[in-house]
Each structure stands twice: as structure tokens, then as C-alpha cells.
Amino acid sequence: MSDIYLTNTLSRKKEKFEPINPPRVGMYTCGPTVYDFSTIGNFRTYIAADTLLRVLKYNGFEVTYIMNITDVGHLTGDNLGDADLGEDRMEKSAQAQGKSAWEIAKYYTEVFLKDFEKLNLTKPNVFSKATDHIKEQIDLVSGLEKVGFAYKISDGIYFDTVAFEKKTGKKYGELSTLDIIKEGARVEPNPEKKNPRDFAIWKFSPSAGSGLPKRQMEWDSPWGLGFPGWHLECSAMSMKYLGESFDIHCGGEDLRQTHHPNEIAQSEGVSGKTFVKYWVHATFLQVDGKRMGKSLGNVYTVSDIERKGFDPLALRYLYLTSYYRDTLNFTWESLTSSQNALNKLRSQLLALRESRKRTVLSREKEKKMEEFRAAFTTAVNDDLNTPRALAVMWDMFKSNIPAEDKYDLAISFDDVLGLSLGRISSFQFPISKEIKELVGERERLRKEGKFEEADKIRVKIEKTGYALEDQPEGTRIKKA
């Protein structure tokens, strides 16, 4: 196998991937905040992380993969560039929908997990919920207090970025491109904080008599009733499952600005070790050339694309057609093209599967096969160059290697692509309900021996551009 290269946001360079303890690899991805539906934008990031996971496994690495589910502590101020201010997203959504924060978290987590499956994302070893790891988070705050990097003000316990820099000699905020993080250049809305860049690690619940509503999610701690700061969970849970130093941390590009620098500061603050070796960030998905935003009315979910008749895996195909660090612009036309490409891929594979015969590979064809395999591996190992990998697959189909080898190669490529190519059936084409009903009706008539009537239905179906094939296991529909 060729070496794997990854662009590390920390060094801003493409680096050779060398895990800390080969063949084992520890990998963590920041998951959803479950106060609302995950968008197709969120899934661009998760698909990029999943592709990386698959590439690592394809290369023989044994990966422990963790993804968190944020079900507390992510405040709305994050939208304004300040993650410590505003309302808790879970509690706000609960109020708006007349449900409890716990019900909100449960409902959106379930929907997320269903979408996750529809996109054929690999289940992590642990889906870790913030609310299941309160003790670990409290321990982390205590640890930071012990080393002198935490202090208390009226609304919570804060991380002291200046003490961290002085004592460790490390620079806070290296991942970020924001001046407010790198240089501390900002107007500070909270005058009690020692330094503008300090951030909350534990927030206090509003006290009785403050006039603010009582929180639904709150826990006892050595500092009083409260809840963890958003950045804390990822440090606590990743170190719990992967150790104080691990290999890869993924997320969307926005997280490099404050969330990930804060994770680094918290983790390295207590451990004194390098937290993560490779930081991998996916660039945001745009819709119709614009940022995705509720106010713009262009936020789509996996269910939205299904409602329009698309297969969720067409979305996965679309994401594979672009390099994860390039801006990708979603349009319904681009999704239609991807659906067509996926349909073509599936029908080619079905045809190959049917025409498979054991043939002896000539030397020349064997060499060609190896070349395709190597070209595919080189592409995906080169910072996940999936557009090139797809091109290799299409070239391979056009080549003169035997059908069975084409089929086998495509199925092995799918270990990385994740398009469920091994599970295709004729019914995976977007076939209308009417056609499916006609096929069912024809099968029933044939079983009853009414062949003439069945043939009339066949003619009717064929007029709509489909061809039927009667197999021992049932009728297959193909695009004519």
C-alpha cells in the first residue's frame, strides 16, 4: 500500500500519516448538537470523516472511532462568535416546542442516527453523549483548577488562557485564523473575565430569584449547580476513550476557530502532552452559492432530499465528487447528476454481476487490474482525493478486464466509497409507485397462469422506458 497523506490544519501542510501506535489509530469527530435536525451540510463533514475512517481501514489500520453527541451546554452565543453567551440551544428548542430538553435531545438523536444509517456512515465504537459524561467533565475542571488554569467568576468557572501560555510555554489558539483568538483582539462583553480569550468550562445555573427560568439540565458540582461549557465534553470524552494523546480529530471548518483551540488548551492544560497529532477539517457546504442558513430558507435535511425522490446515497456520491477541503456548492441539478451517476453505476454493476463467468486472467489483464487498484489507492491515500478515485473506477469499467474482475474491484473500492454497491438490487432505481404496482400485478397474473394479460402489462411497462427480466427469484426491472 502507498503512504497516506493528510492535510493537517495545525501545520497548514499535507503531511505523511504516521500514527502514534501503529497499526492502531485513535480518531474522534465532533458530532451533532441535537436541538434540531442535522443538515446536509453537517453530513458533508461526517461523510468526509467516514471516508477517512474507511481509507485507514482499507490500508489495514485498526481504528478506534469516537463521535460525540452534544446534548447540553452549546449556547446560542456561538452564532455571534461567543460560545459562552446566550441561551442553551437544547433548552431554547424545548421551550419553543413545548417539550422537555431531554425529549428534544432524544428525538433529534434518533433522527440523526437514522440519517446516519441512510448515508451508510460507519458506526463509531462509541457514540458518546455529553450528558452521560458529566463526571468526567467535572473531573477535568477540577484537574484544570489544580494546575492553576481555572478561576471562578459570577457566572461560572473559566479557563485562564494567559496562565496556560505562561506555564506551559505553548501558544493558545494556533489552529485558529481569527485575530480575536490568536491575538485576543476583541471587545469583551464580560468584564469579570481576566483575559478576553478566556472561556467557560463550567456555567452556573441561574440562581433562584434571578428572574431567569430554572434550567432543566443541571448537575451538582464542587462549584454549585450548573452545566458544562460546550468545549469541555470533547476534551473529556476523547481522552477517556482514546487517551491523552491520539492521532486524528475531525470536524467542520468552523470548529478550528474556537472549539478546537479550546479543546487543545483544556486537554494539554491537564495532560502536559500533545493532544492530537492530525487535525482534519472539512470545508462548509454551500447551497445555491450561499451560506446555508435558516433565515435564507435553504437549509435541507436528508428527509428533504428523500421527499424529492432522491436516494440519500446520491448525496454521498455528490460529496465524493469533490475534495473535502474545497467549497462544495449544493444545487438540485448537481444532486440529480449524482443520482444519475449512481443509477448508472448500479446498473453497470448489475449487468456485470449477471454476466460473471470464471475466466482465466491473462497476464496483461492482471497487470491492468493491479494498475487500477494502485491508482485507486494512491488517489484516496492522497488526502482523500475521492474525485480522482471515482474517475479511476469509471475508467476501470471502460477497460477490457473481465466482467467478474471489474465487479470484484468495484466492490473492493466500495469499502472506501461507502455506496453500498454490494447490496444493490434492481429495485434501487427511482421507480415510481405505479410501475412497482404494475410489476406486482403482472407477477400475480403470471402465477395464476394468465400469461396473455401479464404480457399486456409488460408492454405497458416497457413503453415507460423500463425492461423486465424474469428470474427464478422474481422479476427484475432495468432501465431499457
Residue numbers of the site for ligand AMP (CB under 6 A)?
A: 30, 32-33, 41-42, 44-45, 70, 251-252, 254-255, 282, 284-285, 292
Q: What is the four-CA torsion angle of 228, 231, 236, 237, rounded to 10 degrees?
A: 110
User: What is the smallest separation between the CB atom of 287 and ligand AMP, expressed in angstroms?
Assistant: 8
Q: Which does 226 bind (CB under 5 to 8 A by kind): Zn ion, ligand AMP, none?
A: none
Q: Which of residues 118-177 bind Zn ion (CB under 5 A)?
A: none
In the bound state with Zn ion, the residue whose beta carbon lies nearer, of 30 and 396, is 30
Q: Which does 252 bind (CB under 5 to 8 A by kind): Zn ion, ligand AMP, none?
A: ligand AMP
- The count of chain residues that interact with Zn ion, using the rule CB under 5 A, is 2
d(CA 67, CA 341): 31
In the bound state with ligand AMP, the residue whose beta carbon lies nearer, of 34 and 150, is 34
In the bound state with Zn ion, the residue whose beta carbon lies nearer, of 66 and 454, is 66
In the bound state with Zn ion, the residue whose beta carbon lies nearer, of 105 and 234, is 234
Contacts of 328 (CB under 8 A, 6+ apart): 44, 283, 285, 286, 318, 319, 322
Q: Which does 53 bind (CB under 5 to 8 A by kind): Zn ion, ligand AMP, none?
A: none
d(CA 34, CA 43): 14
Nearest partner of 354 among 406, 420, 391, 427, judged by Cα: 406
Q: What is the four-CA torsion angle of 158, 162, 168, 171, rounded to 10 degrees?
A: 110
Q: Which does 41 bind (CB under 5 to 8 A by kind): Zn ion, ligand AMP, none?
A: ligand AMP
In this structure, which amino acid lies at residue 129?
K
User: What is the smallest separation between the CB atom of 217 and ligand AMP, expressed in angstroms?
Assistant: 17
Contact 396, 406 (CB under 8 A): yes
What's the length of the chain? 480
User: What is the smallest separation between the CB atom of 358 and ligand AMP, expressed in angstroms?
Assistant: 45
Q: Which of residues 24-63 bind Zn ion (CB under 5 A)?
A: 30
d(CA 283, CA 391): 22
DSSP 71-123: -S--BGGGGGT-TTSS-BHHHHHHHHHTS-HHHHHHHHHHHHHHHHHHTTPPP
H-state helical runs in 272-311: 302-307
In the bound state with ligand AMP, the residue whose beta carbon lies nearer, of 33 and 221, is 33
Q: Which does 4 bind (CB under 5 to 8 A by kind): ligand AMP, Zn ion, none?
A: none
User: What is the smallest separation between the CB atom of 33 and ligand AMP, expressed in angstroms?
Assistant: 4
In the bound state with Zn ion, the residue whose beta carbon lies nearer, of 30 and 175, is 30
In the bound state with ligand AMP, the residue whose beta carbon lies nearer, of 70 and 267, is 70
Q: Which does 236 bind (CB under 5 to 8 A by kind): ligand AMP, Zn ion, none?
A: none
In the bound state with ligand AMP, the residue whose beta carbon lies nearer, of 39 and 267, is 39
Q: Which does 157 bind (CB under 5 to 8 A by kind): ligand AMP, Zn ion, none?
A: none
Task: Report the DSSP pairing between strands 156-159 and 199-204.
Answer: antiparallel
- Provide the grid cell at 32: 451533532
User: What is the smallest separation between the CB atom of 328 and ligand AMP, expressed in angstroms?
Assistant: 8
In the bound state with ligand AMP, the residue whose beta carbon lies nearer, of 93 and 221, is 93
For the chain, report the end-to-end CA distance as a whole number of angstroms.
40
H-state helical runs in 154-258: 161-168, 179-182, 230-242
x/- string (CB under 5 A) for Zn ion, residues 216-255? ------------------x---------------------
Angle between helices 40-58 and 363-381 (to 10 degrees): 130
User: What is the smallest separation between the CB atom of 288 and ligand AMP, expressed in angstroms?
Assistant: 13
Q: Which does 234 bind (CB under 5 to 8 A by kind): ligand AMP, Zn ion, none?
A: Zn ion
User: What is the smallest separation between the CB atom of 14 and ligand AMP, expressed in angstroms?
Assistant: 21
Q: Which does 254 bind (CB under 5 to 8 A by kind): ligand AMP, Zn ion, none?
A: ligand AMP
User: What is the smallest separation between the CB atom of 253 and ligand AMP, expressed in angstroms?
Assistant: 7
Nearest partner of 26 among 50, 72, 74, 62, judged by Cα: 62
Nearest partner of 242 among 28, 52, 49, judged by Cα: 28
Closest residue to ligand AMP using C-beta atoms: 252
d(CA 374, CA 370): 6
Does 264 engage in binding with Zn ion (CB under 5 A)?
A: no
Nearest partner of 267 among 242, 241, 245, judged by Cα: 245
Q: Which does 419 bind (CB under 5 to 8 A by kind): Zn ion, ligand AMP, none?
A: none
User: What is the smallest separation between the CB atom of 200 and ligand AMP, expressed in angstroms?
Assistant: 17
In the bound state with ligand AMP, the residue whose beta carbon lies nearer, of 383 and 414, is 383
For residue 380, the tally of other CB atoms under 10 A from its CB is 24
Q: How far is CA 479 from CA 41, 237, 406, 465, 469, in A?
A: 32, 49, 21, 6, 11
Interacting residues with Zn ion (CB under 5 A):
30, 234
